[in-house]
Structure 1
Amino acid sequence: MTETSGKANKTDKNKTSKVKKANKAKPEQPAHDSALTRRRLLGTAGAVGAGGLLVGGLAGAAGAAAARDDKAPLSGVGTAALPFHGTHQAGIADPAQAHGHLLAFDLAPGADRKAAAALLRRWSATAAELTAGRTPKGDDTGIALDAGPSSLTVTFGFGRTFFDRTGLTAKRPFALEPLPSFTQDALDAKRSDGDLWVQIGADDAFVAFHALRLLQRQAGDSARLRWQMNGFNRAPGATERPLTGRNLMGQIDGTNNPKPSDANFDERIFVPKDREGADAWMAGGSYAVVRRIRMLLDTWDHLSPERQEKVIGRRKSDGAPLSGGTETTPVDLDKVNPDGSLAIAGDAHIRVAAPESNRGAAMLRRAYSYHDGFRDDGAPDAGLLFIAWQADPMRGFVPVQRKLDRGDGLSRFLKHEASGLFAVPGGCAEGEYVGQRLLEG
């Protein structure tokens, strides 16, 4: 899990800009004025410098990390914004936020390509307003009326069955073939797949729920909710300095994630911009593998910390590989202990998941932890909402998961309970909607 899930890594320190502290504006207190709106909050922040507000084309991790990589005041967390429009959809290369919602919808009986286009148009317009910190027209919920955008991102994707139901099978990408079965799978069909997929993330729980509520309402008679999953991560500013996050096993998670600064990052994660053929509409897009992975925490917690470290291949305290160094030291898979044993065990998670063990296969892991209460036997129903991004899942997720399925020591402590694969098109320009090239091409 340490190598196959978790947040996108922080940008290098020399590339991290400092978040400026916003001066506190004097609160307005008119006798009959309405409550402070999201638009007014951003206007006030902009007038005084709005520490953490990100605009322009920084839809990638570099811009988002700048909003997190400093001990910003809480107001800075609230005013951080990521643009909805751009070459790529937001929520892919950006660090995972503190709160996340994953949803899948099925088109309603009788809903056709025209209805799907209208729905994506509504959803895109709403997402653009919310991510900019504005209240969409007709929104009377008041859920996040006094909040800033809080790094909100909304990402849309299409499942395999979407193309059948809209008469677009000729444009269905080959990469959207069904995922193979794995021995650790115990999949619940009701919580897997779906025609449409939505990923919502924000650093404020109310902002995230607000987006969730509006999109669910706007689905109307066009689509019905198939499943929903809710997750969380460490909140920005919760640690003295920026650190790689931990999962519910207590392990530092995401150390070896590809970085936007890597020379081959776009090649691994995004479909080429010059894509031609039936799936040319996917240019600038990516493919998301979504897995709900329950952790057998009671069993895991019975292991000693030393045994846990051997299963993962890293120290629990600081994430350093057992081959030596610090968290970011490259793993030495050939390192041998004085007794002749491998420093990184043969079935250690980081060995089996390493690109060197999988012919260079890699993906960007962007996950959320979840806890859905307790099972009948008293064990926590908790684990990881695993989201893996790649240009081609048949060259990214599938070969790595096959290797993990056969020889990963960590697999004994995991259960894969839900799964989905979604084609996530590139971003859209202002005045357009996500998926327009597919639905109107």
Structure 2
Amino acid sequence: MHVFKDRTEAGRELAHALSSFRGPNTVVLGLPRGGVPVAFEVAVALDAPLDVIVVRKLGVPFQQELAMGAIGENGVRVIDERVRSLSGVTEREFALVERREREVLEARVAQIRAVRAPEDLHGKTAIVVDDGIATGSTARVACTIARGLGAARVVLAVPVAPKDAIGDFPEADEVVCLTTPSPFRAVGRFYSDFSATSDDDVLHLIDAAARRPAATSPLREPAPRHEDVLIPVDGVTLQGSLLLPATAGVVVFAHGSGSSRHSPRNRAVARVLQNAGLGTLLLDLLSPAEELERRAVFDIELLASRLTEATDWLRAGPAGLSRPVGYFGASTGAAAALWAAAEPGARIDAVVSRGGRPDLAIRRLGAVQAPTLLIVGGADLQVLELNREAARYLTCPNRLEIVPRATHLFEEPGALDAVARLARDWFTEHLGGGANPGAARNAAPDEA
């Protein structure tokens, strides 16, 4: 029995079997979550773009691992009538499972598409990759979606599968499978390490694939500097994550109370800004010990002073004095960003507030000179009213944008996508983008 060390090894072995597909018209599509690490290795080896097709299995209620069907983006659905019939699942039970999985699918699609516009598959060869298949339901849906999105040829590629699941597969023009063991039982039996792949892992791999330098571009821009940094301020050391392109402005993120530089929402926005050619610095404005003190979490003046010192460190070191700098603040972090932007000599070129509390910096708002964008969810009624009131105090160029039906954390499908798009456009207008910010705008998740 062939056992792979992990998904990375499986992806590299699978890439060898797919070497004939290397070329400019190939796109690799991973199935989140477990298929994406495999697909990443295939995409790297073939020098092909990496994208995802989000699919959710419809598990039998009393045996979740047994698929009675699957659903995917764009309303696609495949039903395994044999499994459904044998399991005795009623119409009502099936509908409940589908509704629950559809909610999860739409949330995952919104999260991914906020940072990665879908690849254009028209006329291309789409290689659909998973870490293995059991019944084949999710793979069938994924291949159907790829075909519906215009792929001229669809190839299903998996490290392991039962022979009967891939023997008759009309949804794909070709199936590439490294091993078809019998008995099969479960995909995980054929991996020494079959640990779960997280949503953050998926986003990281998509991001890493998108940042790969083009192999055929001898005149490409130098690769962005990407590193974890330590910033000494005020007798403590702040931790941050810096991505710095060769040119263009930098956006410094100020997180809200209870959040950190690891916030998935702010990291999702940061990726969209990075794809537009901008640099980003995500940092914690408090030390781990200070984060346990509720007083410090809401000490806007302290947070603002830390933000100012971190900005001074950025200008004195990696970014230099000439780059434009912007602030992106969330919740209480928005108040800190506005307070810091109001400091004499701050030289901040733009501010964006997401679900912010500008009222906590109300007495400083009149001194803010940087163009300011306030983004609030339409269903976040209390914060919306606070932002409307705060906007009356701003004398700088400013705008209030309301994301319809969104609540405070912008968790609704498409809400974070809207935030990322608005922030990207505001910062590229006021800070400038990278080598081709216009192309990044054309590839916006909601416009693709």
**TM-score with structure 1 length normalisation?**
0.28
More strand as a share of residues? 2
**TM-score with structure 2 length normalisation?**
0.28
Higher relative contact order (CA 8 A, sep 6+): 1
Bigger radius of gyration, 1 or 2? 2
